[in-house]
């Protein structure tokens, strides 16, 4: 149950001063008692408004019925207690701005809203929920030395009913838990489950920062969803958008008749690419609003982490702006110092209040120290450079890959500068970018072999993993947010084979510490063969620094069969194949190895070597017996 704080001068002053990290316990609609009478207390921040009144089901939407007043000295807040208001009723604030114009606004702190296209907030008294995930919550960690493998999901299009309407949170929970557990993923990441008015925004233009979208049910339904996944051993991450918000009149835009949540100067406060407003990170009440939103999900809904969208757009004042269309900081630089301070505060508060939760930055530049404690202090950063280089390499005609050979090795130059997630997200399979399998050149067989090789590379390189839904079974069409994934293709062996390859990659990744325990150290990766540009063959060791155990990974990135290829190894003995992307069960030819005993001749600077039969577009993972 969410705590309700009294509207005292002390609490209002703390919020005004940036020292109340759960402002939702003070503002919004709270079912409570005053003078022994049960009703609903409403409170809203609108310091520049001339007048604010409450409209809703309880007063016939009459803007003259319930005028709000300033509690305890004001501080820019308005409140009212309404005995006749009840749980489940809808409401808005009628706000008259400095110019005398009145606009009806949804509650920024609403815990649930009407189903779009309706836009009213809903009075919601948190219902008792008895969590069953105590074991999960007490043992979860941030994954520094443990595996994190993330399945990115858009709930509205992962699976739908036969009439193409949404499944609800309670229907989705066991279906998604079964599927993700069957693929051996450790986490899911949910796109766009915070309330938003437009389906086509995928949830990235948020109007309800404290509200699970009503498309799939109630707040208690969402708790059930998280609880079920936790009980199956699956973590839940959410996409979170503190960088910008939509211009919809019912939302945060010009909330009290003037810029309030956004910077007043459009050179800082308006994002030209997305037609959205940028939060004002210099206002304490805005910072508390955002941090309170993060904590609402982490504390009340037991969410395990947040993936912060579009971090670069927040860090740089000139992001996507022409010369002269941005304002330098006080030192004349391009960094948004207020946003930097916000990230440091956010991550400090999250690490203190939500043990084991993680915060991940989608940051596309080389901003220093994103995951450093003395920097922005995120737990992880998406490896955008790795993704761009690797996908560009894989899309090339294999005959030309020899000229871009080091696109696959360049990551090693900087991989320990941050703690990375190797992410291949929804952004890579929309807007005519093609699905992952159809990015690969060649025939349908070669495309699937190329996809398996790419996934093998992703899962054996240092860094946590993320893959967008549908790519795990070689979906051929681009993602369509208006319809379900084409689940019928799993009846076909060529799609089922890729699905099973991802399942087994995850199983190997989770069971072998060499593939995850030393992701962020130099010792975690050692190249054996990094320069054979003629054949496009690569080989490297993944190591667990603590135990000294290692596995050998060999990639052949052309559609050429290479029998008896020498690969240097550091120790003599007999090796065994742990995974082979060319195995028949995955849709390959089933290339066999003639002999996995080492030969004493030196190769690749190693004292011993193996003679391996390298199938076209394939990955081998081996270990010493």
pLDDT of 323: 84
468-489 residue pLDDT tens? 999 999 999 999 999 999 999 9
Angle at 47 between CA 88 and CA 123, to 5 degrees: 5
Question: β-pairing, 562-569 with 608-614?
Answer: antiparallel
pLDDT of 1: 62
**Average pLDDT of the chain to the nearest whole number:** 96
pTM: 0.96
* % pLDDT > 90, the chain: 97
Residue position matching structure tokens 């508390």: 288
For the residues 303-328, what does the mean pLDDT come to? 94
139-197 residue pLDDT tens? 999 999 999 999 999 999 999 999 999 999 999 999 999 999 999 999 999 999 999 99
Catalytic sites, residue numbers: 309, 362
Tokens describing residue 96: 């008259």
Evaluated on CA atoms 470, 475, 481, 487, the torsion sign reads negative
409-424 residue pLDDT tens? 999 999 999 999 999 9
CA distance 459 to 472: 12
DSSP code per residue over 345-380: HHHHHHHHHSTT-EEEE---S--TTTT-TTTT--SE
């Amino acid at each position: 149950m969410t705590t309700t704080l009294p509207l005292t001068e002390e609490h209002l002053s703390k919020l005004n001063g940036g020292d109340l990290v759960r402002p939702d316990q003070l503002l919004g609609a709270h079912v409570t008692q005053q003078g022994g009478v049960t009703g609903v207390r409403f409170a809203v921040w609108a310091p520049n408004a001339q007048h604010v009144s409450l409209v809703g089901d309880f007063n016939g939407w009459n803007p003259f019925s319930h005028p709000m007043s300033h509690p305890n000295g004001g501080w820019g807040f308005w409140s009212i207690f309404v005995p006749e208001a009840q749980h489940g009723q809808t409401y808005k604030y009628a706000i008259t701005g400095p110019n005398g114009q009145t606009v009806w606004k949804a509650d920024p702190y609403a815990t649930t809203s009407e189903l779009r296209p309706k836009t009213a907030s809903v009075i919601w008294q948190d219902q008792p929920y008895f969590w069953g995930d105590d074991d999960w919550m007490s043992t979860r960690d941030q994954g520094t030395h443990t595996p994190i493998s993330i399945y990115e999901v858009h709930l509205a299009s992962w699976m739908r009913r036969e009439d193409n309407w949404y499944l609800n949170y309670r229907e989705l929970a066991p279906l998604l838990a079964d599927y993700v557990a069957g693929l051996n993923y450790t986490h899911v990441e949910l796109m766009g489950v915070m309330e938003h008015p437009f389906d086509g925004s995928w949830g990235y233009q948020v109007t309800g920062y404290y509200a699970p979208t009503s498309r799939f049910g109630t707040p208690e339904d969402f708790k059930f969803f998280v609880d079920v996944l936790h009980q199956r051993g699956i973590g839940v991450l959410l996409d979170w958008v503190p960088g910008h918000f939509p211009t919809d009149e019912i939302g945060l835009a010009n909330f009290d008749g003037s810029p309030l949540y956004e910077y007043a100067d459009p050179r800082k406060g308006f994002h030209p690419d997305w037609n959205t407003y940028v939060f004002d990170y210099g206002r304490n009440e805005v910072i508390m609003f955002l941090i309170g939103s993060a904590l609402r999900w982490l504390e009340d809904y037991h969410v395990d982490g947040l993936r912060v969208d579009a971090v670069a757009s927040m860090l740089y004042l000139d992001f996507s702006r022409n010369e002269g269309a941005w304002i330098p900081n006080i030192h004349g630089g391009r960094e948004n110092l207020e946003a930097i301070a916000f990230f440091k505060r956010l991550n400090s508060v999250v690490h203190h209040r939500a043990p084991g939760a993680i915060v991940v930055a989608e940051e596309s530049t080389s901003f220093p120290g994103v995951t450093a404690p003395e920097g922005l202090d995120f737990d992880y950063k998406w490896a955008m450079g790795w993704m761009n280089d690797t996908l560009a390499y894989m899309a090339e005609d294999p005959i030309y890959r020899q000229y871009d050979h080091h696109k696959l090795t360049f990551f090693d130059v900087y991989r320990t500068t941050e703690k990375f997630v190797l992410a291949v997200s929804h952004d890579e399979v929309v807007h005519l970018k093609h699905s992952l399998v159809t990015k690969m050149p060649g025939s349908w067989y070669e495309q699937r072999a190329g996809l398996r090789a790419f996934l093998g590379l992703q899962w054996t390189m240092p860094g946590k993993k993320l893959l967008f839904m549908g790519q795990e079974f070689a979906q051929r069409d681009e993602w369509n947010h208006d319809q379900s994934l084409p689940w019928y293709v799993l009846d076909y062996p060529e799609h089922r084979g890729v699905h099973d390859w991802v399942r087994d990659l995850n199983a190997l990744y989770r069971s072998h510490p060499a593939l995850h325990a030393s992701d962020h150290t130099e010792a975690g990766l050692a190249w054996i063969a990094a320069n054979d540009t003629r054949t496009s063959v690569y080989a490297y060791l993944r190591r667990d620094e603590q135990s000294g155990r290692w596995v050998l990974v060999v990639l052949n990135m052309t559609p050429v069969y290479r029998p008896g290829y020498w690969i240097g190894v550091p120790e003599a003995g007999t090796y065994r194949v742990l995974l082979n992307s060319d195995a028949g069960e995955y849709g390959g030819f089933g290339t066999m190895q003639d002999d996995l005993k080492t030969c004493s001749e030196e190769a690749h600077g190693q004292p011993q070597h193996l003679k391996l039969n390298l199938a076209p577009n394939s990955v081998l993972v081996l270990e010493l017996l």
